[in-house]
Amino acid sequence: MKIGWIGLGVMGYPMAGHLARAGHSVTVFNRTPSKARDWVEEYGGRQAASPAEATIGADIFLSCVGADEDLREATIGPDGAFSELSEGGCFVDCTTASADVARELSHLLNDKSCHYLDAPVSGGQAGAESGQLSVMVGGEIAAFEIVQPVLEVFARKVVRIGDVGSGQTAKMVNQLCIAGVVQGLAEGMALAERAGLDIPAVMEAIAEGAAGSWQMSNRWKTMQAGEYEFGFAVDWMRKDLSIALKEVARLGGTAPVGTLIDQFYADVQRAGGGRLDTSSLLKRLR
Ligand SMILES: NC(=O)c1ccc[n+]([C@@H]2O[C@H](COP(=O)([O-])OP(=O)(O)OC[C@H]3O[C@@H](n4cnc5c(N)ncnc54)[C@H](OP(=O)(O)O)[C@@H]3O)[C@@H](O)[C@H]2O)c1
């Protein structure tokens, strides 16, 4: 297929790479052009000068940018992707964004007889690099069936949740589930350190038991080493928690643990750690 792609960050760079390696013809655009140059050098394909140019002739167009405002800029901003999307085309957004922006952009595309799918991902940098992400999708069934095989190139699980916006709402659920787990892991490791326990032995003993988690298996070693310059940025987690907590409040619920941990991440940001991986919660406790 001819595929257009916007956003070549920690996630988008390897995700688009898998599509190129699978034989799709991929044209990429990134706000900082040097990343697109590096990508083309590594994977072939073409570099576009604007989102609109990357869209010309594409069967499917995908994006994985930072947040709502980045997505709006890439789609309906100057030279945005929507200006060139051809009739019947599919736009798939893998950014973690609000459900509102998904519905807003979807309405604009309906007028052009194009399809919009929100398809945020989970699985982190490692999942993107190994092509093992989980994708939660909102959008029409017919459009989902067209894009599913493309998403499966970089994912081990692709699930349609419901209508447009429901993929983003499922991602909010995902982020609230993660927040407490990371803090629990940080508190457990802080105790193990203070008690002078052998951390690898503790992790070996508990990782396969009831306390085991993706965060524990994938993060304890880097947490122990104090390495956080990779992965899922604290700035993005705060953006995600803000979206999720607003949705919880809108629906009349409460999320006390998510609310508290959002403040812990604010501490990490104030200490200059906005781009550190979310496992940096341990830094606050050391
Ligand atoms: N990292 C993770 O573990 C992870 C896991 C699941 C979901 N996510 C979500 O996936 C999304 C991307 O995360 P990431 O970690 O890949 O972020 P990132 O490293 O900051 O990458 C975002 C990329 O989007 C580009 N971009 C932003 N606005 C743009 C625009 N208007 N036009 C073109 N390119 C634009 C940025 O360009 P520049 O090069 O100019 O900055 C950057 O390359 C976020 O919504 C995040 O919440 C991340």
246 in catalytic set? no
Question: In this predicted structure, what is the pLDDT of residue 14?
Answer: 98
Average pLDDT over all residues of the chain: 97
CA of 64 to the centre of ligand 1 (A): 6
Residue located via tokens 């013809």: 25
- Angle of helix 68-76 relative to helix 99-110, nearest 10 degrees, comes to 10
Question: In this predicted structure, what is the pLDDT of residue 266?
Answer: 98
Q: 2-163 in CATH: which number?
A: 3.40.50.720
Which ligand 1 atom lies nearest to the CA of residue 122?
6
Global pTM reads 0.95
CATH class, domain 169-285, is: mainly alpha
Q: How confident is the model at residue 200 (pLDDT cuts 50, 70, 90)?
A: very high
Which of 13, 15, 27, 30 for mutating ligand 1's site (highest number of atoms within 8 Å of CB)? 30
Please write the tens of the pLDDT for every residue from 143-195: 999 999 999 999 999 999 999 999 999 999 999 999 999 999 999 999 999 99
Question: In this predicted structure, what is the pLDDT of residue 36?
Answer: 98
Please write the tens of the pLDDT for every residue from 207-219: 999 999 999 999 9
Q: Is 183 helix (H, G, I), strand (E, B) or coil?
A: helix
Which regions of the chain carry the CATH code 1.10.1040.10? 169-285
Please write the tens of the pLDDT for every residue from 94-121: 999 999 999 999 999 988 889 999 999 9
Which regions of the chain carry the CATH code 3.40.50.720? 2-163
Please write the tens of the pLDDT for every residue from 221-255: 999 999 999 999 999 999 999 999 999 999 999 99
Strands 133-138 vs 121-122: parallel, antiparallel or unpaired? antiparallel
CA distance 12 to 65: 8
Catalytic residue among 2, 171, 221, 283: 171
